[in-house]
Structure 1
């Protein structure tokens, strides 16, 4: 049996290596020693003929991971393991290719944690402290914590200079291995040997010869009292002995502290784990080499008694060649883009932190517009403000905006409550929330900056023509329906929770789409398909679009569109029997039917509300006759951009408020022929909410309703988002 096994290995390695010497790049003497032991182990377990074909593993000693990247590019080494931040640089800046990624016991990602010994420290007041980092541009030691500090506006970045310059003045002193070339002050706390000879200079290098290098080094920096806080990944916490764990605490995002064991809920963000890179033309050979080595010496390797690939304990250091917490290597296909490997959120974060250098995008805010009318209003906005430049980018729906923000194609958009729920699941965060409270935003306040914990809401209503006396809740089966748009709170999420027909009650199937298809004969639900698109009209003129588009180009889209649908097109045809919309602009929209030329002779008394209990009521009784409360819209963006987008919105608001007689109004849309363009027309000002999570803004009841609806509704956008979420089990 052993002979068969040897023959199998022989042919596998001959096929994999084809007499090619594999050169592993190491960054310290302990790592060189472990690599040499791996080479010996390979020779020992392979038959002589296979060794000849294999030509042995060669270990190439370099001074740092940056030196390794240079050597691989110059064909003086072949393979190295890097932190995800360095993987991104190796691929995007230096043209290398990824071949594998580390998988840990609780998933393929790491959590960034801030570790301290002083119980009085607070993540909100790190300015002026001494900091220890695993490495420059490293995921847990640099990118995630800085992204967090920027998103909360605890760290200011002028963008006129590299982020590293502002970080060096934010902390009083630091050790950030690898930062010597970009910001020497960030190396003040480092302990590595200094030398004018490049190969002997280990000070602040990404090498184990720098005592404060990598996650273990950052913890060593904290332990020795050189720093006040260490930014590391959660895997490094396993190395802290039980007897010492009470000495350390984690800094949580909310300003509190927690024991080390609470890293899942007390962290500064999550990102991808480490990966291996090589030259593009060597990827196939390197992948097969890694597969073979893992088969022999991995956690379940056939020869793991001889050598343990993911164990460094006998070499005097941690995380040599690979992280010791690695369970296995996931070998990657050739066609895997770096964004797929690292995740769209993480790649967008790195771009936001300037990993690709500065560009024009760093000084502009790209706003997402979903229709011709929104584009026109956005362009007028751009012409009427004194702030950073505004660029208006076209999308086809709110869902498309969420995807474009995640892909770093746009920066921000104001979303209704249901889409804010989706955006939160997609890793986006709120910047401001629209405030519909009226007088509190007035000039008497002396400021357009409003801070409040009370977020005024609106309500969803069902409206019918007064003349349609047989139309009421509970008797809508077989009728024609008008809904604002797909996933809208008033048009999609809330109505199906009420008894719509005798055959449907609150215990009926939970999916809104299925309920509406079962209850209504046909309708207009922009963004849907089938019978729920048959009443829709499409667009005309410059806004020409196919019927049922999920934006204002569809004339029956939104609150105004749902009302038009109830009335019918200008010829009086193509109408619905009931409209589900928001109450806040209902009266204005009824009045605008005449002024816009859409329909003549309609007054407020021509409509009635349909109450959930089967009653009908005048429009003025909406407080007692409605389908539920809707949280306000929120402007959503990627976490690293919250401060920039907030500053932009405040400057816009101040500029426009200072000139109340100006023609352009940020919160008015009538002159563009629609309502609620970019923002709800009922908005009075913005409320700062970047310190709140989407769940607290939406409220527990609405959040639970949305969660229940999407648990039994297929959603392409949520499916897209879930592909990019790092899983920590």
Structure 2
């Protein structure tokens, strides 16, 4: 009966949507010229017997059209992607179709970064360079490159001051229009005006370096080292094309900067670009069937003979649709999917004003020592005029702090991987920034790896570990137990019953050394201390910890050692002078990859069991993560060094503790880039190990997604049985 009720409800909704669209599609227009074109299109569609019928509704703005759709007083309208982004913040939009060129890509153009082929610039080395932009506020030269740099974490912005952030990122720039009160002088320092000293940095053609060809000319004439333009600009001004200044220029002398750090030919813009800028989209109301609107538009193109992408006869340009479009492509309904995540995130990164930033950032502390350091940090930040100001909120436990953040009683806290998992899963928190212990932007504490002797040819895959001897850092430890055992359970190689993980592992390996284990088979390869006592005791057995597990492998007690990536290097090539390690060479060992291949120990970034993430600053998803990172990034310029005479962000010795607010080993705070959720920050390997080790008895060999699907199918079977 329950299934029947659901089916009838869905059927009635479908009938209602068909009925609305079957009678009439009311198209919303935003000007008298658009209304004139819409009426002509309606007549042409009707004459061609296109259904549903098309009628026209008058409004003065896309905001007004969106209001009519919400009230079911109109059914559809066309809008630019930036308008759709703004409207999408207020309500969930449905997209029936996107405009497209003849190639059917749904792209208006690609925003690219162009450099001279002779330069050494990459997207990862833009900081400190000289830059050329089409103009302040323009899409290809301002919003897209800055949005990309902010979203990727390469450029930080404090207090939503994008202009200041750009001036601190690039050494000098030409950004026509960045000559308003408060704009840093460096944004106009490369501009030249009309050549006579006049109109310098104006947002007009009187500035030589204005717009697409102007920004490219800025690069050509060596004013800047990179130009942010659209993908057609180089071809339009080289190889015999363009104005006199472009004579003799060859397109092959320029290259594009790719997001992955590589470079490519200017012809390879579809693969190598900063952002894909979508064409206009067709927005429809929730009461409308998007497919019927799409079909109506395509029928109009094929059958009516009406010039849907021509506006000149109605006295305007881009009326209803873009004049440069040629067809429509079906959309994926939701506006963010239609835009593409990268374009949407670039706009979101630029969507910030000082009004969006709270006066105070409330940091949750867990002890009196952290409270003292937090107060000192707040005073230091305030003395440097950093925004937002810092406040300290006390929590009795990590869980209470996470609850306070969820309840808007606090804003941020730094957490390790296990707590990041809980913060995201149970409290809905997301990462805003993270610690780096090496100074790079990887955001990893280390990589959990499986090490073999190179001359061991019996192990080529994880399944080959069955019946072999193994060395582990200790029971419950991340690299030596949780990650490898979690992965083996997920693969279905270990099948523990009733959550008896030790018993399952003991049945998989022939014998092991797992200090702290209770199963005898997991202690069989351990040797105890120097006297032979304390066998398999945590912290006492010679095979305990990273170096101990590697020693277990090196001395032949085990055939595989589960350690971190640095362990091999720390104990070979003369880096460990203990008698058991002094003769070892790193080239004598290899890594067993999760992809069931092997690799050299230097290739741990690509061959590992899991990337163990660094600590991250977690926040509510409603906060602006770029503002939090902007504050911390600017703060570490003054307070990030352990030799600073005043406050030190990454030193806790003055406050009677260690790792207060941040780990003392932190070298710098980094942006989280595209790893915006707790799952993305943790990484699927590490996340899977956490999920699997929670209670794998009923989930051996199954992914979390598989379990969810099984649960859903079970519910469906129950409904059908009613």
TM-score, length-normalised on structure 1? 0.49
